[in-house]
Amino acid sequence: MDGWSPENDNALAAARVLADALLYEGYLLYPYRRSSGKNRVRWQFGVLAPPAWAGTHGSTHDSVAGSAESWWQQTECLLEPEADATVRITLRFLQVQRRTVEQLDGGGYQPVDALVACGQQYLSFDEAVPQEFDIDVRIDELHGGPLRVRVAAPGGSDTEPLGDHPPAGRLVRRRWPVSALVTVSISACPAPSPVWRLRIRIENLDRSTGADVPRAQALCRSLVSTHTLVAVDRGRFLSLLEPPLKDRPSAEACRNIRTFPVLLDDGGTDRLVLSSPIILYDHPRIAPESAGDLHDATEIDEILSLRTLTLTDEEKSEARATDPRSAAIIDRVEAMSPQDLARLHGTIREPRDAGDGGGEPASLVVAGTRIGKGSRLRLRPNPHGTDAQDMFLDGRTARVEDILQDVDGSQFLAVTVDDDPGADMHHWYGRLRHFRLDEVEPLAGSDPAS
């Protein structure tokens, strides 16, 4: 890309570290053994299955999360390009690779579920091969119509002998060809500034897989953990989560289906976007304390590492035989020092600057009365659309401990209930009850200044 500087290359390299964690999210889950129920149903995110199969078994909902199978996904993001801007779209996915253990028997090889050769256990299991394709297109070229690019990952097989000569058996790894159509288009947004809507649609092109085959067979012709990295050399992308006020209607009109684009940290230029099948915030990053991928970014590294250390020798042996990536996790965790584990215990980070004066307010007005920390209230939980347990608190009095605001701007009061014998303990570790402003009645003397 002509306008792509070395600094941008460094940002893209950092983005790939994050994208790799996304690529293998859910690949294997603790306890990392093939026999575990969690590892018998594989590939949960960004699965673009063959159209005929997906039409019968896949998702019919156009959600922004790619946690169910479909045969296509769509990304729409907002772009402010400069003159002669070029966009690079990097399509990334996993291609399923079936690993079969075969035992030498009577001069021929027979498939088996497991085999021990030279004291090492080998198991049949599905692996995956990462695939990546770059598509560069000038914005000016898209004004003439959509760009359609066909990408394909070929099939093939590899054989690895096991044991001495003659070998006791072999591993056979087989891949089936997968192909996809990437359609890139652009359209103008009705905004005061020159904002464009960039659309990226990805479709599985397989026509050989029928609707009646098992899921495991359909997955062999699927794109798994499908996502895109999008970069612009001249210009910037706009956040869909926190767009500029003038561009909010355009952001709300973007239609993202089974994927969602977020800005990546690239030094403040906003030239990089990750379109993920998992919903993320803008500027996601890998925690610097993390020693390596555990394939479960929704879990806590410390807990997973400590739990992995509790596995028996037999369980660790099975995990190592399940997959090279699970073997690497076992080896890494076993090599961790007490200092390594201590670094996982917790950290304090500076909160992101709200910039526009956002954040939780110090006080607010409820029914004509100013409410703040220390104010007294009577609780009146809504009868519908709220926690059923709150019904037992109707009419009780409480003390305001904090005022909170969620990402949508909705405000809540965090309170401790009077006469609750565990109130001090709840307050100590932050287990507060939350109520909307229409679920409370200020009591006399509620003004925090009084």
Q: Residue 382 has what pLDDT? A: 84
Neighbours of 414 (CB within 10 A): 19
At position 235, the amino acid (one-letter code) is G
Question: What phi, psi does 421 have (nearest 5°)?
Answer: -65, -20
CB proximity list for 169: less than 8 A, separation 6 or greater:
101, 102, 103, 104, 109, 112, 115, 117, 122, 161, 162, 163
* CB-CB neighbours of 429 under 10 Å: 7
Q: List, for residues 148-170, the tens digit of each pLDDT value.
A: 999 999 999 999 999 877 788 99
Residues 6 or more apart whose Cβ sits within 8 Å of residue 423:
416, 417
Whole-angstrom distance, CA of residue 419 vs CA of residue 393: 11
The CA angle 179-182-188, to the nearest 5 degrees, is 170
Residue 108 clears pLDDT 80, i.e. is over it = yes
- At residue 447, the pLDDT reads 62
Strand partners, 72: 203
Domain layout of the chain by residue ranges: 6-286, 363-442
* pTM of structure: 0.77
pLDDT at 19 over 60: yes
Residues 6 or more apart whose Cβ sits within 8 Å of residue 437:
364, 366, 411, 412, 413
Cα atoms found within 13 Å of the Cα of residue 212, Cβ hemisphere only:
0
272-305 pLDDT, tens digit per residue, is: 999 999 989 999 988 888 888 999 877 789 899 9
> Torsion angle of alpha carbons 332, 336, 340, 342, nearest 10°?
120
Whole-angstrom distance, CA of residue 410 vs CA of residue 96: 43
Mean pLDDT of 190-194: 77
% of the chain surpassing 90 pLDDT: 61
Give the closest residue to 21 by CA, choosing from 338, 345, 299.
299
Most confident among 56-60, 65-69, 232-236, 267-271 (mean pLDDT):
232-236
Give the ranges where 74-198 is alpha helix by DSSP (H): 139-142
Tell whether the model's pLDDT for residue 386 goes beyond 70.
no
pLDDT digit string, tens, across residues 340-369: 888 888 766 655 544 444 455 678 888 888
Instruction: Check pLDDT > 70 for residue 3.
Output: no
Copy the structure tokens of residue 311. 């596995």
Q: Please determine, for residue 391, whether its predicted confidence score (pLDDT) is greater than 90.
A: no
Q: How far apart are CA 101 and CA 123, in angstroms?
A: 6
The phi and psi torsions of 343 (rounded to 5 degrees) equal -65, -25
Which CATH number, 2.60.40, 2.30.30, 2.40.10, 2.20.25, labels domain 363-442? 2.30.30
- The predicted pLDDT at position 350 comes to 57
Residue 450: pLDDT band (50, 70, 90) is very low
Q: What one-character DSSP code corresponds to residue 48?
A: B
Number of neighbouring beta carbons within 10 Å of residue 273: 30
Which of 71, 73, 323, 91 has its CA nearest to residue 221?
Answer: 71
Instruction: In whole angstroms, give the CA distance from residue 219 to residue 225.
Output: 11
User: What is the residue-averaged pLDDT of the chain?
Assistant: 88
